[in-house]
Structure 1
């Protein structure tokens, strides 16, 4: 039984990937176990997969025989393709009547520039489909025993990018601090010290719990728990490098409670 046969059984009928179409798909936070059936359907049918740096090699191994891989990774501070070049390439490939899978880590519409690509494809009259993925800002936290929301702690959660935090047109961190709600940061390691200082200036206590999750969901995952005033220095001392998610707020304290109880719960299972 092929993977497409299996998908047809699971989904009733897997969506058909037509030639000349582009699918904007999310590969999830890393580990292939978090891949959606929709993304798998794309991998099973695509002629060419234009993928980011954070897509796990085991996910790419699921491509159908004969599919071509094209790397289009964008990593901060490193030479990488421009977004204009990537989007132009999607249009070129689609106009060659190929089935083009644009595969991104996480979700394509959560800090993945999928919205920009969708707008260009629309303007160029290229048919496309969006395949949502599980964003690392939620899955990474959950698997690190940090719930994004919990009753009695927060009524909202803020997803924000640290990209541009050192520029004049960056986010108003003081305004975010004033909400009192937990903040989940993407792409923030390079500017974490500035962000933490701005949040403290905006009213968050220096001892607000904070955590950094590196390589979320993968075997090499590392979790550092600290406080807002210390998180940047502690991350540097621990030599933590991207990709990483940062969580700030009371939700971080739940991790210690869960980890303390989990071993005893497991011991009682038959």
Structure 2
């Protein structure tokens, strides 16, 4: 599509069948347009294909762009006759008649490829092309997916070399070419992984999509460090928070008063804001806090501190992402034996151990 037009929020009419126009529909949906099509079951608003000039006038009126995919000569004549000066008209070749492929979103777990599920391994083995996130397990990917094309679409904090909408566009385009697509993501696709957005993009384009859950780092990484997120008589609940953006005062106040365990993903850069806010809203200064870097991997490192000291300690030790932050009394339970007696006699006794 060669068109110098910002399509975000624009109205687009695609003249074609659901199969023949699927590529055009996918592109314009991904560009943010409000798409209508003269077909049913195309993943967007459908309109009846008119037979006469007056009918085309009603359908075309108010459209910013009309895309002719499989319109015949008479339909094109009528459309051009009723289109206003503000309406662009573009012709595109129909999509291939090859069957549509599929997309599978795969939760890869927190990093250790031994935590991939059997379903994930099976999906990788069937894939023609795999779009891989930075934090997804990749050590044995060539072994798990022999012959597949592997495309790195990973993002680093503050730097998205390939924007999310472009990742979605590529996935959809590959599936519309008839390929079996796997999208390998770290953790679980639906836990701060933008999996819902990717599923929506596939459905809008009429691409079959399934989701394979993954072992979420919110539970697995604390466990790898010896920290249970719940423990009888110590923590009856845990709250998982995205630390990607600073929390507002209402959210901080809620967290500080909720009790239980707080697990923060992607929160290293906002750790000073988080701990200062929790303290401001009443969390005890000596509340234990653990930072687990590169959880489940050989280079895993766990730093145990408190809410009041977390910023100074993390700066001095040069804590970096990826890391999971755990706040709560359960952090004391990672210690055992004499060290447990020395650090947390009261908590262990309260737990009935």
Instruction: Name the structure 2 match of 1:246.
Output: 325
Structure 1 residue corresponding to 2:111, chosen from 1, 18, 30: 30
Name 2:274's counterpart in structure 1: 195
CA offsets per residue over residues 112-132 of structure 1, 9 Å max, x none? 110111112122221011000
Distance across 2 between alignment mates of 1:90 and 1:34: 25
Distance 1:171 1:144, change over 3 A: farther
Return 57-66 or 19-28, whichever deviates more.
57-66
- Following superposition, the deviation at residue 257 of structure 1 comes to 2.8
Q: Is the Cα–Cα contact under 8 Å of residues 293 and 322 in structure 2 kept in the other structure?
A: yes
Q: What residue is the counterpart of 1:10 in the other structure?
A: none
Q: Distance in 2 between matches of 1:80 and 1:188?
A: 21
Once the two structures are superposed, what CA deviation does each residue of 1:138-165 show, in whole Å capped at 9, x if it has no partner? 1111111000110101111000011111
TM-score between both structures, scaled by the size of structure 1: 0.85
Q: 1:4 is matched with which residue?
A: none
2:283 equivalent to 1:212: no
Q: 1:165-218 CA distances to partner (integer Å, 9 max, x unpaired)?
A: 16x6x8711111110121000010001000101111111111100000000010
Structure 2: stretches of 5+ with no match in the other structure? 1-98, 341-353
Alignment gaps of 5+ in structure 1:
1-17, 262-270
- TM-score normalised per structure 2: 0.66
Contact 1:20 1:95 survives alignment (8 Å): yes
Which deviates more from structure 2 when the two are superposed, residues 71-80 or residues 214-223?
71-80
Give, in angstroms, the shift of residue 64 of structure 1: 2.9
Tell me the equivalent position of 2:176.
Answer: 95
Deviation at 1:69, TM superposition (A): 0.5
Question: Which moves more between the two structures, 228-237 or 242-251?
Answer: 228-237
1:110 matched to 2:191? The reply is yes
Distance 1:135 1:88, change over 3 A: same
Cα–Cα, structure 1 residues 19 and 95, in superposed 2: closer, same or farther, change >3 Å?
Answer: closer
**Take 1:56 and 1:171, find their aligned partners in 2: how far apart are those partners?**
36
Higher RCO (CA < 8 A, seq sep 6+): 1
In the alignment, the residues of structure 2 paired with residue 212 and residue 231 of structure 1 have an alpha-carbon distance, to the nearest angstrom, of 9
- How many angstroms apart in 1 are the aligned matches of 2:160 and 2:194? 18
Q: Secondary structure of 2:139's partner? A: helix
Secondary structure in structure 1 of the residue aligned to 2:335? helix
Whether 1:148 and 2:229 are equivalent positions in the alignment is: yes
User: Is the CA contact 1:180–1:204 (under 8 Å) kept in the aligned structure 2?
Assistant: no
Corresponding position of 1:159: 240
CA distance in 2: counterparts of 1:184 and 1:259, whole angstroms: 27
**Cα separation, partners in 2 of 1:180 and 1:108, compared to 1, 3 Å:** same
Which residue number corresponds to residue 220 of structure 2? 139
Q: State the 1:79 CA deviation.
A: 4.1
1-side partners of 2:106 and 2:144: how far apart?
13
Q: How many residues are paired up?
A: 242
CA contact (8 A) 2:100 2:176 kept: no
Residues of 1 paired with 2:164 and 2:265: CA distance? 18
Which aligned pairs between 1:57-68 and structure 2 lie closer than 5 A?
57-68=138-149
Larger gyration radius, structure 1 or structure 2? 2
Q: Give me the whole-angstrom Cα distance separating, in 2, the residues matched to 1:128 and 1:186.
A: 26
How many Å separate the matches in 2 of 1:53 and 1:124?
A: 26
Structure-1 separation of matches of 2:103 and 2:212: 11
User: Which deviates the most, 206-215 or 53-62?
Assistant: 53-62
